[in-house]
Amino acid sequence: MRDTPAGTARVASPGRRSVLTFAFGVGAGLTLARLVAAQDDAARRARPQPDDRFAYAAGERKGRVVTLADLSPGGPPLTAYPMDPGTGVVRNDSRLNQVLLVRLDPRALDRDTSARAADGVVAYSAVCTHTGCDAWDWQPASGTVKCPCHFSEFDLRAGARVLNGPAPRRLPALPVKIADGLPLVAAGFVGRPGFDGEGVNAARHPGADGIIHEAMSRHP
């Protein structure tokens, strides 16, 4: 085997170049895949962003975009997650992103609620502020929802203020707007989504839409 003359560089064979190119491509592809996955994870965890759409949280339509036509005047509420309009990523990695969407008579809304509504559509955190239940009993005559875990009742026509029960605070509101026949997020939550109770157990309850939802209930 002859030595390479001084002053010359050894050139990799075509086969070796192919192997190196393939290895580099695989490495770059894996890095890009990890980056995309990390970005998707961050998007799924993020709180609702302006212009997000809403996607059904459960049932046969899970993941489908909620339209204005899906929201029957007078309810019942739908449970949805925000969805990034550009990527289609549903922000469902946090249970606290669940949203109650309901269409009420605009004339029945108080001033603050009306300012955050669009065509009577209002949105609130779907997680009870007491111990974190996320199933609801709809009471159309009063425009209220009642938590079946400990019977806290919230007035959706008046900023989801607490009417009865142990909940310490109202459900955080999510301002909405309407564009192209779709309800969209107009701004972030007004207030902190989540609950304040301690010592909770997982439970399951039928929601107002007939769907079984995961809920949280206090230890006996």
The predicted structure's pLDDT at residue 43? 87
The residue ranges of the chain whose pLDDT is under 50 are 1, 8-12, 199-220
The predicted structure's pLDDT at residue 143? 96
The predicted structure's pLDDT at residue 113? 98
Whole-structure pTM value:
0.74
For the chain, what is the HEC assignment?
CCCCCCCCCCCCCHHHHHHHHHHHHHHHHHHHHHHHHHHHHHHHHCCCCCCCEEEECCCCCCCCECCHHHCCECCCCEEEEEECCCCCCECCCCHHHCEEEEECCHHHCCHHHHHHCECCEEEEECCCCCCCCCCCEEECCCCEEECCCCCCEEEHHHCCEEEECCCCCCCCECCEEEECCEEEECCCCECCCCCCCCCEEEEEEECCCCCEEEEEEECC
| Overall residue count recorded for the chain in this entry | 220
The predicted structure's pLDDT at residue 201? 40
The predicted structure's pLDDT at residue 196? 84
The predicted structure's pLDDT at residue 123? 98
- Tens of pLDDT, residues 149-166: 999 999 999 999 999 999
pLDDT above 70 covers what percent of the chain? 71
CA distance 139 to 23: 62
Distance of CA 139 to the CA centre of its chain: 24
